Amino acid sequence: MAGRRQVQVEVLDLAAVEDMAGKVRAVGELPQMSDEVRRWREDHAVTPAPEAQSFAVVGEALMYLHSAPDGTLLPHACYPDGTEKVYTDFLHAESAYD
């Protein structure tokens, strides 16, 4: 995606963030997911951070995980319109998106 990203940070409790990260990882490991992710990325001009991992298409969003500086995995959702949402806990909210 060219230019500055439109990012919304949603603060949840740590258990919810960890649960969501586990679900993104599990969905990303489904056999058909690599083809769905490839198609989503071909169809949309959205480029996740290079450090992104565990990609999954969930509804209209491309979801992925990104590590906070301490290694905590934070789920991200990229939408076709170029907006992005980061799910984080209070401790990581300040550094959730750089």
Domain ranges of the chain: 6-95
Rounded CA separation 15/84 (Å) = 21
Summarize pLDDT for 23-51 with one digit per residue, the tens: 999 999 999 999 999 999 999 988 787 78
Summarize pLDDT for 54-68 with one digit per residue, the tens: 999 999 999 999 988
pLDDT band per the 50, 70, 90 thresholds, residue 96: low
Distances (CA, A) of 47 to 43, 62, 90, 96: 11, 10, 26, 17
φ/ψ bin of 48: left (φ > 0), alpha (ψ from -120 to 50), beta (otherwise): beta
Quick one: tokens of 36? 């769905």
pLDDT band per the 50, 70, 90 thresholds, residue 5: low
Rounded CA separation 4/35 (Å) = 28
Rounded CA separation 42/96 (Å) = 26
- pLDDT for 4: 53
* pTM over 0.95, yes/no: no
